[in-house]
């Protein structure tokens, strides 16, 4: 997992509440567990005018010109700004996979669904919870004539933008913060204890050698 210390990026304003995981990545794309190739189908039913299917060439599909991801001013955005209860619905991990593979690294909302919130950290993304008033202020800035660029400083736990005099603090669990700063997912954390795990296995097999017959 790539470490996240400070990130500057373009804000994409998705002005919708209760965006569920089926909207983030529709059910027909859940057949694969390869963890690759989902970015092109992010928000598929809103992004395209036809019905998407796995393996389809999305470059040939008709785009919905009214959807925010298809508007040229937000091309290359890496910070998703949205409304309350983002990521609700089923607990599919494909949802953060699709967001990350599209290019999003930061998400800002008044609230996130619990499982989606924790899955996002595990996939190297930072979901930031701000108040409704703070999110409204960011929407005002992001939907203006000039696209909004924000700097998210994880170490300092602040969101900044000089153009709009923004300097917003945010909270984050210390353990989650440490994992993002050091680029550590669950596997990396486990491997830190590899020597102790191997020592336990050797001792355990000496005490119970008959387990070797079942391996």
pLDDT tens digits for range 120-148: 999 999 999 999 999 999 999 999 999 99
Domains located in the chain, CATH noted: 6-184 (3.20.19.10), 191-215 (no CATH)
Residue 75's pLDDT is what? 95
The secondary structure of the chain in percent helix, strand, coil, rounded to multiples of 5, reads: 40, 20, 40
- Is there a contact between 83 and 57 (Cβ–Cβ < 8 Å)? no
* 182 vs 161: CA distance, rounded Å: 25
Residue 73's pLDDT is what? 95
pTM: 0.88
CA angle 99, 154, 11 (to 5 degrees): 45
Confidence class of residue 50 from pLDDT cuts 50, 70 and 90? very high
Q: Give just the sign of the alpha carbon dihedral 12, 119, 17, 137.
A: negative
> Mean of the per-residue pLDDT values for the chain?
92
Residue 111's pLDDT is what? 98
DSSP E strands: which ranges in the chain?
A: 6-13, 79-81, 106-109, 126-129, 149-153, 158-161, 166-169
CA atoms within a 13 Å half-sphere pointing along the CA-CB vector of 173: 9
């Amino acid at each position: 997992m790539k470490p996240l210390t400070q990130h500057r990026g373009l804000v994409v304003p998705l002005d919708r509440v209760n965006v569920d995981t089926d909207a983030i990545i529709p059910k027909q794309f859940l057949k694969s567990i390869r963890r690759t190739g989902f970015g092109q189908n992010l928000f598929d039913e809103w992004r395209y005018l036809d019905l998407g299917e796995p393996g389809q060439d999305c470059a040939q599909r008709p785009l919905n010109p009214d959807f925010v991801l298809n508007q040229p001013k937000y091309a290359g955005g890496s910070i998703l700004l949205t409304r309350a209860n983002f990521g609700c619905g089923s607990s599919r991990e494909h949802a953060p996979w699709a967001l990350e593979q599209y290019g999003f690294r930061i998400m800002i909302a008044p609230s996130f669904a619990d499982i989606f919130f924790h899955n996002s950290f595990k996939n190297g993304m930072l979901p930031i919870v701000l108040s409704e008033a703070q999110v409204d202020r960011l929407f005002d800035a992001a939907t203006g004539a000039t696209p909004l660029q924000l700097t998210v400083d994880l170490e300092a736990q602040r969101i900044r933008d000089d153009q709009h005099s923004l300097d917003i603090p945010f909270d984050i669990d210390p353990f989650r913060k440490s994992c993002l700063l050091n680029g550590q997912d669950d596997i990396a954390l486990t491997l830190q204890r590899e020597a102790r795990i191997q020592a336990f296995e050797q001792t355990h097999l000496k005490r119970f050698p008959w387990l070797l017959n079942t391996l």
